């Protein structure tokens, strides 16, 4: 088969499909096919980098939250020691009066 025969065969097939299902259905099928191709292209070029960036952001946020938790524990310990010292000072002042 030559390229011309293949083109003619595809054109004949297209015309038979258009005749059987109607032109609007064929146009819808073509639009859906190109929409699928566009979605696949967008997935590779747009969605995958966005998802990867979001995953990196979440990992960084999780690490930051762990560090914040450690700092808050240290701060709670320091505040507890300060409160204990304040109570001791308050009791010492009361004992002197």
Tens digit of each residue's pLDDT (9 = 90 or more) over 46-81: 888 899 999 999 999 999 999 999 999 999 999 999
Tokens representing 25 are: 């259905």
The pLDDT value recorded for residue 9 is 86
Q: Can you read off the two tokens belonging to residue 78?
A: 């320091």
- How high does pLDDT run on average in the chain? 90
Report residue 42 as tokens.
């967008």
Q: Which two tokens stand for residue 3?
A: 């390229």
Rounded Cα distance, 56 and 63, in Å:
11
* Nearest by Cα to 18 from 26, 10, 7: 26
Q: What is the DSSP string of 15-34?
A: HHHHHHH-HHHHHHHHHHHH
pTM, two decimal places: 0.52
């Amino acid at each position: 088969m030559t390229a011309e025969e293949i083109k003619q065969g595809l054109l004949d097939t297209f015309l038979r499909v258009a005749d059987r299902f109607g032109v609007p259905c064929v146009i819808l099928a073509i639009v859906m096919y190109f929409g699928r191709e566009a979605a696949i292209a967008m997935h590779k070029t747009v969605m995958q980098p966005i998802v990867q960036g979001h995953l990196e952001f979440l990992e960084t946020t999780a690490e930051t939250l762990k560090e914040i938790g450690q700092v808050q524990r240290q701060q709670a310990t320091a505040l507890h020691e300060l409160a204990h010292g304040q109570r001791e000072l308050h009791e010492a002042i009361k004992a002197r009066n």
